[in-house]
Amino acid sequence: MTTPDLITADLVDLNLDAADKRAATRALAERLVTAGRVTDLDLFLKDVAAREEQMATGLEGGIGIPHCRSAAVTAPTLAFGRSDAGIDFGAPDGPATLIFLIAAPEGGGGDHLKVLAALARRLVRAEFKQNLLAAAEPAAVAEYIRQEVA
């Protein structure tokens, strides 16, 4: 995984409009398909849903991190969505406004865990979350996340 490849501007949705976590995940996953990072949308969504059934992926502070390893993923990838209304990912303190969809190839457990760990370290910093909430341009968000996470 190279830093520039993890997330690109086309994988950022600053106006994620979804009624629930499945719709939010689908909207971000469709960006992965368009970018050539996921080859089979239905298989990928099935794998994300199976992971979500094991344990909710909502974190306190308005964060959702749906993720999975899947045979449909061609390269470790991170998509990001920001929802003004918030989407319930099962966090105890309420809906998520910042959603990170982590997609790892089936054999890419190490990359998957590295991205999760790096995100977790950043998400405890109020400045990181505030910058994502205030950002106006997808390219700037992608660059910021690459610098912070990769």
Enumerate the active-site residues: 67
d(CA 122, CA 70): 25
Question: Do residues 96 and 25 touch, judged by C-beta distance below 8 A?
Answer: no
C-beta neighbour count of 33 within 10 angstroms = 14
Q: Give the DSSP H or E segment for 41.
A: helix 41-54
Q: What DSSP element (H or E) covers 85?
A: strand 77-87
Sign of the Cα pseudo-torsion (128, 52, 9, 106, in order)? positive
63 strand-pairing partners: 59, 98
**Strand duo 58-59 + 63-64: pairing:** antiparallel
